Chain A
Amino acid sequence: MNYELVGISVLWLFLFGYIIVASIDFGAGFFSLHAKLFNQSHQINHLIQRYLNPVWEVTNVFFVFFFVGIVGFFPDTAYYYGTVLLIPGSIALILLSIRGAFYAFENYGQDSKLSWLMLYAVSGLLIPASLSTALTISEGGFIKETATGKIDLNWTALLLNPYGWAVVFLALVSVLYISSGFLTFYAHRAHDHNAYELMRKWFLMWGPPMMFISLFVFLSLRVQNEAHFNSAVWDYGWLFILSFIAFIAAGILTYMKKAHGIAFIFVIIQIGTAFFGYGLSKLPYILYPYIQIKDAVTSDGMAVVLIIAFIGGLLLLCPSLFFIFKLFVFDKDYVRGKK
């Protein structure tokens, strides 16, 4: 069996899971702050809290799962990414810590402060930006090697790179797009008319710029890593076309105020097809040109055990995740604030 392919698929799936749930969370911070500053807090905050209080911790675990998994399956990634991401990674970690902790302080501590909300909201937008650095670096060209074989991040190349910035903006806008998509659905379910109108407006507003930036990411990828670009267009172009169709479908449904659950499923399909299209066209590289999936993989024995552990873990997690969603997302009375 092709362990490395199983491994990377599992990890990619978890990263995708993280992107969806974390985006909802990160975007929610921005919307809360915006509402607070424009005196609309009463409209959306209780809605956001009702969803986020029970699930924020679970969101975090998706991320931990991804980085623990990638080091286990592909030990070389620890060396290269670990070294070059020292500063961007540490900054992302600090932002994640501030965000997680102050979210808890603000919501469980019942001692609300505007400054804490600011920390929570602003860090939520900076985290996707700093995490997206890892994706940019993976395209190659940002690692410098010294004569003695040591490696470090080439900051000038990174900061002056149009592709890098395009990815940062795409990460930011997608966060707001995904988050407002979910909250539109959640507000509609909660029969919370004000929040629903507000979220629907945000969702429709962020869609077009996101598409525009995506196109720019494509174009700049051509400059950054032509092989990757060609593979994306010629081998997996159909996935991106599917993604675009799903985008249109989600937009139309939301615009017509119909079937918000299905509209959000279209959002997931849209992001999913684009994300897997990006990942597939990138293969066989995990970090161009240093790490390919085949030469970085862990020993066979460990790969088998990891996959077994993974299946066992899923058998435990899926029912639990289903249970928590049943209680806090699909339970109409809870969502409407009656429980």
Chain B
Amino acid sequence: MDAVDISRFLTGMTLAVHIIFATIGVGMPLFFAIAEFIGIKKKSAQYIALAQRWAKGYTITVAVGVVTGTVIGLQLSLLWPTFMRIGGHVIALPLFMETFAFFFEAIFLSIYLYTWNRFKNQWIHFLMSIPVIIGGTFSALFITSVNSFMNTPAGMEFKGGRMVNVDPIEAMFNASFFVRSFHVVTTALMTMAFILASIAAFKLLKNKVVKDRAYHQAALKMTMIAGLIFSLLSMLAGDLSAKFLHQVQPEKLAAYEWHFDTASRADLVLFGVLDESTQEVKGALHIPGALSFLSDSSFDTEVKGLNDFPKDELPPLIVHYFFDLMVFFGIFCFVVSFAYVVMLWIKKRNPQHQFLLYTILLTGPAAMLAIEFGWFLTELGRQPWIIRGFLKVQDAVTDANGLVFVTILFAILYFVLLFSATYVLLKMFKNKTAHEHIEHLNRNRGEA
């Protein structure tokens, strides 16, 4: 492997780890805020315990998110110094603002976590969660803006290998910013909902502490309803993304769908295996005209095919698999949450049906995998560019020696972090069951 491959591998590995914790980081605050809100409103210790326990687990994921986020922030300059020299100052504004948002979130998260009993009025403590939600969401928006710039650069001119006449606002609000941010935020909330639902389903299936059932059922109901709402929004975001790609990055969409020849009434290809030399797709499910419809809401829309782009600017065709998997897992989550809400709605049915609980158990991992696949496909889909149309990855990589050495070090680090974070999270709730926690809260209230 040469420097480009190793650097790509290391960057990919860092992001693959970071995105797990970043997604939780963006999604989680809303959930403990909702739980606390219901808890205060209904004067229910059960929901307060829910908020406290979610927030407690969150401290661990946030810690890993913070450190891996710091790593990727600096790795950009360490592995891709030429990219940062050329483009760093154009994306400086969103990067800078991201730090502010993160700062804001960090401050209020600390306050939120350590002041459960400090304010006389419970609503004041609840209010501390608002800046955490805002900070988390905005840091996602700003960092997505940076990534969007790399896909659809704007607000600068390229002269003599440098970016000049920079318009910071135009660069920040580049063409793909809104559609991607929307997708990132909705899928983060969706994923978080399903992860929390998975935990509740797991506890209900295991049924070890019978007294905790009501607590887990409440959590399940709340997260599944949220899951349904956010998966609907995510599908809307996905649809907008496809339409956007059709307009602005057609080579990416064509690669997602192995669409080789420009044509109207283009098929949507599901699954299948590709023979790259003959461009033949085997074993795939073709939905006639669906790609055209997805691109522009009309079956007659002409969709540009891969053969109409320069050969050395094509993304790798493996992205199709990631696309299929992302969509499949996303839709799976939607179907499960839909089924659950229907069961809930029809009073006679039992939404805690064993089979349903097993499928709910799968939604958390499925949603997280969809996030990973989604990022793999969008990042690989930008190849061979690091800044689409302006700078290729091989021209941006570092000249320094020692890449293999640091890659091994980071691989060990991520392994240790993932392993210990899981261990700590699993152990965290062993000592005190939910009903003990609720009783504890009730007791304290009695005294106060």
In the assembled complex, which residues on chain B have CB atoms less than 8 Å from the CB atom of A334?
118
Say if the beta carbon of B68 comes within 8 Å of chain A: yes
Say if the beta carbon of A162 comes within 8 Å of chain B: no
In the assembled complex, which residues on chain B have CB atoms less than 8 Å from the CB atom of A63?
70
Tell me the residues in window 46-80 of chain B with beta carbons closer than 8 Å to chain A beta carbons. 56, 59-60, 62-64, 66-71, 73-75, 77-80
Q: Which of B97, B117, B399, B409 has the most CB of A within 10 A?
A: B399
In the assembled complex, which residues on chain A have CB atoms less than 8 Å from the CB atom of B109?
57
In the assembled complex, which residues on chain B have CB atoms less than 8 Å from the CB atom of A84?
400
The reply to whether B73 and A91 form a contact with Cβ atoms under 8 Å apart is no
Say if the beta carbon of A152 comes within 8 Å of chain B: yes
The reply to whether A57 and B84 form a contact with Cβ atoms under 8 Å apart is no
Say if the beta carbon of A89 comes within 8 Å of chain B: yes
In the assembled complex, which residues on chain A have CB atoms less than 8 Å from the CB atom of B369?
none
CA distance A80 to B88 in the complex (A): 13
Write the chain A residue with the least CB distance to B86.
A75
Majority DSSP secondary structure for residues of B touching A: helix
Say if the beta carbon of A108 comes within 8 Å of chain B: yes
In the assembled complex, which residues on chain B have CB atoms less than 8 Å from the CB atom of A73?
89, 92
Say if the beta carbon of B254 comes within 8 Å of chain A: no
In the assembled complex, which residues on chain A have CB atoms less than 8 Å from the CB atom of B166?
298-299, 301-302
Say if the beta carbon of B298 comes within 8 Å of chain A: no
Query: Nearest Cβ distance between residue A42 and chain B, in whole angstroms?
Result: 22
CA distance A111 to B93 in the complex (A): 41
The A-B contact count (CB < 8 A) is 231
Asked if A86 meets B398 with Cβ closer than 8 Å, knowing A61-B99, A67-B77, A97-B68, the reply is: yes
Say if the beta carbon of B104 comes within 8 Å of chain A: yes
The reply to whether B77 and A71 form a contact with Cβ atoms under 8 Å apart is yes
Tell me the residues in window 153-176 of chain B with beta carbons closer than 8 Å to chain A beta carbons. 164-169
Q: Which of A190-198, A248-256, A260-268, A313-321 contacts B (4 or more CB under 8 A)?
A: A313-321
CA distance A317 to B107 in the complex (A): 9
The reply to whether A327 and B118 form a contact with Cβ atoms under 8 Å apart is yes
The reply to whether B113 and A54 form a contact with Cβ atoms under 8 Å apart is yes
Contact of A93 among B75, B98, B168, B424 (CB under 8 A): B75
CA distance A317 to B59 in the complex (A): 21
CA distance A235 to B90 in the complex (A): 36
Contact of A100 among B67, B74, B88, B111 (CB under 8 A): B67
The reply to whether A86 and B400 form a contact with Cβ atoms under 8 Å apart is yes
Query: Nearest Cβ distance between residue B69 and chain A, in whole angstroms?
Result: 8
Total chain B interface residues with beta-carbon distance under 8 A: 76
The reply to whether A328 and B59 form a contact with Cβ atoms under 8 Å apart is no
Q: Which of A58, A64, A306, A327 has the most CB of B within 10 A?
A: A64
Write the chain A residue with the least CB distance to B128.
A323
Asked if A109 meets B424 with Cβ closer than 8 Å, knowing A301-B167, A309-B93, the reply is: yes
CA distance A35 to B126 in the complex (A): 38
Query: Nearest Cβ distance between residue B2 and chain A, in whole angstroms?
Result: 14
Query: Nearest Cβ distance between residue B87 and chain A, in whole angstroms?
Result: 8
The reply to whether B104 and A316 form a contact with Cβ atoms under 8 Å apart is yes
Say if the beta carbon of B345 comes within 8 Å of chain A: no
Tell me the residues in window 392-430 of chain B with beta carbons closer than 8 Å to chain A beta carbons. 398-403, 405-406, 409-410, 413, 416-417, 420-421, 424-425, 427-428
The reply to whether A96 and B67 form a contact with Cβ atoms under 8 Å apart is yes
A selection of 5 A-B contacts at a CB cut-off of 8 Å is: A61-B99, A93-B74, A317-B104, A327-B111, A339-B117
Interface residues of B (CB under 8 A from A): 56, 59-60, 62-64, 66-71, 73-75, 77-82, 84-86, 88-90, 92-93, 95-100, 102-104, 106-111, 113-115, 117-118, 131, 164-169, 398-403, 405-406, 409-410, 413, 416-417, 420-421, 424-425, 427-428, 431
Question: Shortest 10 CB-CB distances between A and B: which pairs?
Answer: A72-B92, A104-B63, A82-B81, A78-B84, A82-B77, A298-B89, A109-B424, A79-B85, A97-B67, A86-B400
